[in-house]
Structure 1
Amino acid sequence: MQDLELWTLDELCDHAFDIFEELASENLSAEDYALYQQHYESRGYADLAIPGEDWVEMMMQDLEPELHYEAQIGLTGENGAPDMVLARILLSREKHESLCHAQWRGQ
């Protein structure tokens, strides 16, 4: 792992947001996309997490916790409501690996 060129976690969040912004209008319902557009400045978030077993099953390969992260992008809840996760994006920290898979809300 020493020879790999890695994204920092902040860069990985920015990268995930870039992917989300590029693909959201095509993959979210019109209602969810409009809601995101209306509230992203005040309630938008991206969190990084270790990929769960559902990703391992979907990818049919083991994922390395030091290299692979799930970015959850969505809107924070209001008045105690739960957060709305709009997309889960599986990414690699390795800058030259093209791994990128997304699961979108409602799909």
Structure 2
Amino acid sequence: MHELELWSLDELCDHAFDIFEELAVDNLSAADYQLYQQNYETRGYADVVPPGEGWVDLAAQELSPELHVEVQVGLTAEPGAADVVLARILLSRDKEESLCHALWRGQTF
């Protein structure tokens, strides 16, 4: 059995941003997309977290906390407000696995 080649967390964030940039215009409301376009340079972020509830059903497979991550892409908060999560993207750290699912602001499991 061969050893898995894993993406780094930085590489996963970059990959999630690429996916977000490609699909955001078609999946966010016009207001959310405009908000992102106006603020991404100063407030845009990607945060790697353990996969949240509901991904197993959406991905139709068991998820390993060591191999699967959720990357949340959004905008940091204005003072006194909460961060705005615009997309939650499920990715695999395994370079041989092409798993990728996205949920956009306004969608739920």
> Where do 5+ consecutive residues of structure 1 fail to align?
none
Moved over 4 A (4+): none
Task: Tell me the percent identity.
Answer: 73
Q: Counterparts in 2 of 1:36-75, with a 5 A limit?
A: 36-75=36-75
Please give the TM-score of this superposition, normalised by the length of structure 2.
Answer: 0.91
CA root-mean-square deviation: 1.4
**What is the distance in 1 between the residues matched to 2:59 and 2:97?**
15
Q: Does 1:77 align with 2:93?
A: no
Please give the TM-score of this superposition, normalised by the length of structure 1.
Answer: 0.93
Letter of the structure 1 residue corresponding to residue 67 of structure 2: L
| SS of corresponding position for 2:54 | helix
Name the counterpart of 2:99.
99
Letter of the structure 1 residue corresponding to residue 30 of structure 2: A
> Where do 5+ consecutive residues of structure 2 fail to align?
none
Deviation sequence 1:46-90 (CA, Å, 0-9, x none): 000110221123223320011100000000110110000000000
Between 67-76 and 46-55, the greater mean CA deviation after superposition? 46-55
Letter of the structure 1 residue corresponding to residue 51 of structure 2: P
| SS of corresponding position for 2:15 | helix
Aligned length: 107
Letter of the structure 2 residue corresponding to residue 101 of structure 1: H
Letter of the structure 2 residue corresponding to residue 94 of structure 1: D
Letter of the structure 2 residue corresponding to residue 40 of structure 1: Y
